[in-house]
Amino acid sequence: MKNAMNRFALRAAAALLVTACFNSAQAASVVYEDVDFIKGKNANSESFTITQSGSYLVTLSDFQFPKKFSDLELSITESKAPIIGTIIGSGTFTFSATAGATYWANIFGVAASPLDIGLYGIRIEQMNNVSAVPVPASILMLGSALVAFVGFGRGGWVTRSLSEKADASSALFAV
């Protein structure tokens, strides 16, 4: 039973090491967020300003409340420039933006019927790659944990090796 627990602990520690070394976390900063409704067939445009250059993730959600849109589209433009990206229905896309620029979120929707309404959401966030844990520190922590798991797994590696040496030496001198 203890061997199985030790193997599980070693596998978990190895998985943590792989995660720490090769993965990075996504930290997001929301630039624009809106939840609104469209009655019948309607279009709307909202502006937002980018403060930091970088990569941005745009998400469009059809909340299907009270019913799903029969048509829902979002396009992002910069001033009078061509369309940067478009989403038809719910979905996401990314785009690169420059600091200080003003962009437009243009939404067009058709509710299930002319008298119905539909609820949608827009979220635009800056994506940054941030290292989850500094790799050298994670390797040192994991290495010391592995030594502890292996060394003290079955009653203590230090005490077992000392008692085995004592038994061997007493056997030599007993003859």
Q: What is the pLDDT of residue 134?
A: 59
Q: What is the pLDDT of residue 106?
A: 95
Q: What is the pLDDT of residue 82?
A: 86
**Tokens 């030594």 belong to which residue?**
147
Going from N- to C-terminal start, the domains of the chain cover 2-23+142-174, 26-130
Alpha carbon of 44 to those of 38, 83, 86, 104: distances in Å? Answer: 9, 15, 15, 10
Beta bridge partners of 122: 34, 60
113: DSSP letter? S
Q: What is the pLDDT of residue 152?
A: 59
What's the CA gap between 41 and 13, in Å, rounded? 55
What's the CA gap between 12 and 24, in Å, rounded? 18
Query: Do residues 130 and 25 make contact, with C-beta atoms less than 8 angstroms apart?
Result: yes
Q: What is the pLDDT of residue 169?
A: 54
Q: What single-letter amino acid sits at 19?
A: T
Q: What is the pLDDT of residue 16?
A: 43
Digits of tens for pLDDT over the chain (175 positions)? 555 544 444 444 444 433 443 344 444 689 999 999 999 999 999 999 999 999 999 999 999 989 999 999 999 999 777 899 999 999 999 999 999 999 999 999 999 988 899 999 999 999 975 555 555 666 666 666 666 666 656 555 555 555 565 565 555 555 5
Pick the CATH number of 26-130 from 2.60.120.510, 2.40.160.10, 3.40.50.261, 2.40.30.10: 2.60.120.510
